[in-house]
Chains A and B, each alone.
Chain A
């Protein structure tokens, strides 16, 4: 019965979404207040019914209702409760339901936090969100119904893929989806602005906090995903350029460009068409990411492959949403004034260059992901673009990004003088050069072949020092500590930027050090054997068998010491899950700010001997710490006063005009 209620709730949500897509939008053009006023209750209604559907699926999982096909495929009586919950988004149908639910949530959030926006804008934004929602609901009801039943019901479920039975992966998809789906709000604002023919600074100001929230979620989601790959996949790698990873990276790159571009549009009225285009692209790439992962077009490279019927549906949907919005853009953009003028040496220029670099890299990633398809379609033969290609492209573009990043933040809007910039930045520049030289001089592993190490570390220091110089410039006229603290309170978006940019520097540092100075050893050890790596002594005590809730594990024990000091006891496991018989390796990791020690069990070699892998990963945490700093920066910027002040629109002429229409 309950699954049927869930199914019905989806149908009701679809009906509401259809009304929501038509009436508020039509009302905004016909000037009917009552139609526009429907937007908010409808958005809430939609969220309510999606939540009901989600709760029904949750109930089916918790009560082990294996008559529901989706539950039977992805759960099991022995599965721990927390993974019964996360199993909801463990496979296709449930993930789409999560997508729709989050979309409903974003719609309701817009309905709630838009009290100061003109009703016309709210109505349009909520209608556009509903159009996207309709697509997902139709997709679910026609091709991927999570409530489908099977009779007779199997006695036991097939269990969740052991790879997904992990806390990191339990929260990674919802975070990622919050980000993907969150860009729908920026998109909806852009479309609403295009529909109204008004791209102004008010539009940019309204979009900014939404875009930033979505970007923060996406940043956290990607960071979690990378961390998960590191400890769960067991290769000690943290990024694989897998199409699924690329699918999340592309919207992130576009979203990063978008938050910067929105700043320019809001503050200077420039880049309007470009900003709109970025908003469309960021969301389109989120949709495309879903399509690539779900459709089977790139089936050969990933396991999520499903049937082509689904692919065709998503593709048609993509064409309507993306094609439609780009057609709208082609129609409206020529009327948009080009806005504020700026000199070559200005903050606008640097932001534009970084925007272009980010967009170019996103395009390259898209190309790399689709290259096999392009080559086949053109009859150019077979190609596969792998790891080295992506790394090369990344390394070709990112140094420029880092270089400009160090200049842009302290450059003045509209026009700046080279003399002033040199005066402010020569010290950080020399310090960065000094850091690079120190790296060449003192890190013995560096050879002429890997000049990349001093270059990257130099760039990381350049970002650090130039931002510190900017901070000094900002604070040196403050009288005392109190005044400085007050500045942190009033300039949160500045300090948010600072944190996020430092996050980039940390990421560069971590990625460079772990890629160049990490060590990986494979070794056969008998109980009592000792292995030394990077100054650490690993003593192997042996392996014993221990039971788990739905698996049995072989658990190894290592005493790790350095000098005469015990560092840690590491207990890696190798699990065999009862239902699938699939083995899973759980590496034991001792983490630290300057290094991770990583031990995992290979195969038993007889006589108590085991094949083992011992890794030393210096500064690997800085990669994810960098990601977290970026997210924290975003959160800090979100609390900036400008987003809380209610009536600022009044003193801005452009905003006031928009508010009256």
Chain B
């Protein structure tokens, strides 16, 4: 390869990277809905984090509106949203919060819940991303809103704070509740 062609390589590589980053900006993962929205939750069965004898499966989503929160002890943002989840688990009795403990060490994860409290009804333990892959989990934290029929209605990427809850999730869940009540009558 000639010298001047070689000197172009870094520039070309950078342009590739820049294109990728522009793409990344365009497809802001907060805005693009998951392809799973509107579909039933993927079938799965995993041991529970705190009690390996118990299994957590797609059947756990039925009967109540759920927040399905993907978390890990190594994830700093998960720790940031933890307090908000604790608050929700105390205040919002109409919904259940299920956890997917993702790519984590069970000891570390259990420790985190012991230290900061456990907002989850139950956490499924998925150390190898077996179930995470099916849900299209991209990073932690992520939170899925699932209605009482087990249909995924929304996916939120990034930590949940008071603003996200008040402005996005609460109205959404309220809407789902109203729909469900209407459907029953």
Q: How far is the CB of A24 from chain B (nearest CB, A)?
A: 26
Contact for A235 among B73, B80, B139, CB less than 8 A: B73
Q: Looking at the complex, which one of A240, A326, A603 makes contact with B114 (CB distance below 8 Å)?
A: A603
Q: Check if B20 sits within 8 Å of A370, measured CB to CB.
A: yes
Q: In chain A between 485 and 501, which residues have their CB closer than 8 angstroms to a CB of chain B?
A: none
Judge whether B174 is part of the interface by a CB distance below 8 angstroms: no
Q: Chain B residues near A319 (CB, 8 Å)?
A: 18
Which of B112, B115, B141, B157 counts the most A-chain CB atoms under 10 A from its CB?
Answer: B115
Tally A residues with Cβ within 8 Å of B: 62
- Contact in complex: A318, B29 (CB < 8 Å): no
Alpha-carbon distance between A520 and B139 when the two chains are bound, in angstroms: 27
Instruction: Kindly supply a per-residue 1/0 record for chain B positions 120-143, scoring 1 wherever the CB is within 8 Å of any chain A CB and 0 otherwise.
Output: 000000000100110011111110
B116:A297 contact, CB within 8 angstroms: no
Chain B interface mostly helix, strand, loop or mixed? helix
What are 23 A-B contacts with C-beta separation under 8 Å? A237-B74, A281-B10, A291-B21, A298-B24, A298-B139, A300-B141, A302-B76, A303-B80, A311-B25, A318-B18, A319-B18, A329-B11, A333-B7, A334-B3, A370-B20, A386-B103, A583-B83, A583-B116, A585-B115, A602-B111, A603-B115, A603-B117, A611-B114
**Which single member of B4, B25, B138 contacts A308 (CB below 8 Å)?**
B25
- 1/0 per residue, CB under 8 A from A, across B2-16: the answer is 011011101100110
Chain B residues near A273: list those with CB within 8 A. Answer: 7
0/1 per residue, A505-531, Cβ < 8 Å to B? Answer: 000000000000000101000000000
B59 at the interface (CB under 8 A from A): no
The verdict on A116 contacting chain B, using a C-beta distance below 8 Å, is: no
- Whether A299 and B138, one on each chain, are in contact in the complex, defined by CB atoms closer than 8 angstroms, is no
Instruction: Give Cα A291 to B30, complex, Å.
Output: 17
**A602, B108: Cβ atoms under 8 Å?**
no
Shortest C-beta distance, A276 to chain B (Å), equals 10
Stretch of A58-66, A373-381, A473-481, A646-654 contacting B (4+ beta carbons < 8 Å) = A373-381
Contacts of B116 on A, CB cut-off 8 Å? 583
In the assembled complex, the Cα of A370 lies from the Cα of B80 at a distance in Å of: 23
- Asked whether any CB of chain A lies closer than 8 Å to the CB of B44, the reply is no
Contact yes or no, A376 B27, CB < 8 A: yes
Chain B residues contacting A581 (CB-CB under 8 Å) are: 83
Does any Cβ of A come within 8 Å of B64's Cβ?
Answer: no
Which residues of A lie under 8 Å from residue B4 when comparing CB positions?
330, 334
Docked complex: A220-256 residues within 8 A CB-CB of B: 233-235, 237, 240, 242, 244
Chain A residues within 8 Å of B22, by CB: 315
Task: State which residues 56-109 of B face A: CB under 8 Å.
Answer: 73-77, 79-80, 83, 103, 107-108
Contact status B75-A330, CB under 8 Å: no
User: CA of A386 to CA of B73 in the docked complex: distance in angstroms?
Assistant: 13
| B-contact bits for A278-292, CB 8 A (1 contact / 0 none) | 001100100000010
**Which residues on B sit within 8 Å (CB–CB) of A330?**
4, 7-8, 10-11
Q: Which chain A positions have C-beta within 8 A of B103? A: 384, 386-387
